[in-house]
Amino acid sequence: MRSSIPQPASPTLSRLRSDLIVIAELIPPQTRVLDLGCGDGALLQYLVEQKQVKGRGIELDEQNILTCVRRGLSVRQGNLEEGLADYPDRSFDYVVLSQTLHFLDSPAQILRDMLRVGEYAVVSFPNWGYWRCRMELLLYGRIPKARNVFEDWHETPRWQALTVTDFSNFCRSHGFKIEQQVYLTGRGKRIQTRYKNLLSATAVFTLRSV
């Protein structure tokens, strides 16, 4: 008997969120990928189908996990704050953390774990230094919503506003080597500018251990 549950459509690159497009493009084919906070699994499914990666995911939300299962993905339920102790050293080539960093209580520990179990850590986050965020605070006196952050401050368990400059300084102080940086405008276009902290809405960093 055929299941009546609709199967999620296979994602194309153009249908992914702008930061996920960047991540999908930088991960080489046939590598081992762990996606932390993988959401509905769209990125993982794209990588598995189009780049033949060996993909695994960790996700907390039960509905997202069900969607991942319907996509045929290997995803387990877990809280990132509990760490990655179950994974051996260098068991992955790339460990991804997209749009999740600002919700973590211990981001330094998570990044250390990512660089223990993987050779590279790929991190994307909204930039609260973006000029639109600055204008909202200046003109309206409100805590701004960065790109891809849809909840108000009181609707989430926690979140920490950070900027591109904050994260760069954080990496240097904790010994994380920045291998690559990609900056996106509010429309998801890549930019190369010395004013990245002002003009980028989203950042994608690739890190390695020093």
Tokens 């930088």 belong to which residue?
26
* Mean pLDDT lowest among 2-6, 34-38, 137-141: 2-6
Q: pLDDT value at position 1?
A: 41
The pLDDT tens digits for 167-193 are: 999 999 999 999 999 999 999 999 999
Question: Which residue, chain included where needed, has tokens 């993905």?
Answer: 73
Does the pLDDT of residue 156 top 70, yes or no?
no
DSSP string, 151-199: S-GGGSS------HHHHHHHHHHHTEEEEEEEEE-TTS-EE--TTHHHH
Q: Where does the pLDDT of residue 30 fall: very low under 50, low under 70, confident under 90, or very high at 90 and above?
A: very high
CA quadruple 164, 165, 169, 175: dihedral, nearest 10: 30
- What is the average pLDDT across 144-160? 57
pLDDT tens sequence across 67-96? 999 999 999 999 998 889 999 999 999 999
User: Mean of the pLDDT values across residues 137-150?
Assistant: 67
49 burial class (0-12, 13-18, 19+ CB within 10 angstroms)?
middle
Q: Tell which CATH classification among 3.90.76.10, 3.40.50.150, 3.40.50.11540, 3.40.50.970 matches the domain 13-209.
A: 3.40.50.150
115 in Cβ contact with 209 (< 8 Å): yes
pLDDT, mean over the chain: 90
What phi and psi values does residue 193 have, to the nearest 5 degrees? -155, 150
Whole-angstrom distance, CA of residue 210 vs CA of residue 206: 13
> Residue 103 pLDDT more than 90?
no
pTM: 0.88
pLDDT tier, 147 (very low <50, low <70, confident <90, very high otherwise):
low
Tell which residue, 150, 124, 168, 134, has the closest CA to residue 18. 124
